[in-house]
Amino acid sequence: MRIVAGAWRGRGLAAPPGAATRPTADRVRQALFDMLLHAPWGGRELLEGADVLDVFAGTGALGLEALSRSAAHASFLERDRAALAVLRANIDACRAGDRASVLDADATRPPPGRPCRLIFFDPPYRQGLVQAALPALGRAGWIAPGAVVVAETARDEEIELPGTMLADRAHGAARLTVWGGLG
């Protein structure tokens, strides 16, 4: 697994052993960021200089990819101890400590946070965690007005979020849905 594009293109990322963490595949991240940058509702202004939130961060691949592509700051929410250790190591390997915050926190009961305009969710599949975490993050101040939310779920997993669905794409076993008009 590696950073796909941007300042850290090609930089390898570690993953914790075992099946508890399921990192987003390089090709899925590439397809996602291509969509974010080239869709009519997206563009460079969505990412450049943005505060982003990587929820159920695991290895931090989504947030680090955003930082590599000119996001200003990424906050990472994760509570699995093995994933947290690898996440911190990946941030150090990218020398991104000054642009990253790691919170050992439950996304369904998050601490107060800074408003983010781009939010990535990559939770364990089929547990309803996106729908449980999104309102809690809103109450805690993490969602900026007009935020865009990206959710990676199982290919056959349906989710409904407030706002407007902007995109729905399947990539192997994964499904990416993008929602706008939140916050």
Residue 3, judged by CB atoms within 10 A of its CB (0-12, 13-18, 19+), counts as: buried
Q: What is the pLDDT of residue 73?
A: 98
**Three-state SS at 144:** strand
Q: 27-182: CATH homologous superfamily?
A: Vaccinia Virus protein VP39 (3.40.50.150)
Residue spans of the domains in the chain: they are: 27-182
pLDDT tens figures, 34-63: 999 999 999 999 999 999 999 999 999 999
Q: What is the pLDDT of residue 75?
A: 98
Pick left, alpha or beta for residue 6 (phi over 0 → left; psi -120 to 50 → alpha; otherwise beta). left
Q: What is the pLDDT of residue 20?
A: 59
Q: Measured in Å, how far apart are the chain's first and last C-alpha atoms?
A: 32
Q: What is the pLDDT of residue 21?
A: 64
Which of 163, 154, 129, 136 lies closest to 57 in space, CA to CA? 129
**pLDDT in single tens digits along all 183 residues of the chain:** 889 998 989 899 998 876 656 667 788 889 999 999 999 999 999 999 999 999 999 999 999 999 999 999 999 999 999 999 999 999 999 999 999 999 999 999 999 999 999 999 999 989 999 999 999 999 999 999 999 999 999 999 989 888 899 999 999 889 999 999 876
> What's the half-sphere exposure (Cβ side, CA atoms, 13 Å) at 18?
9
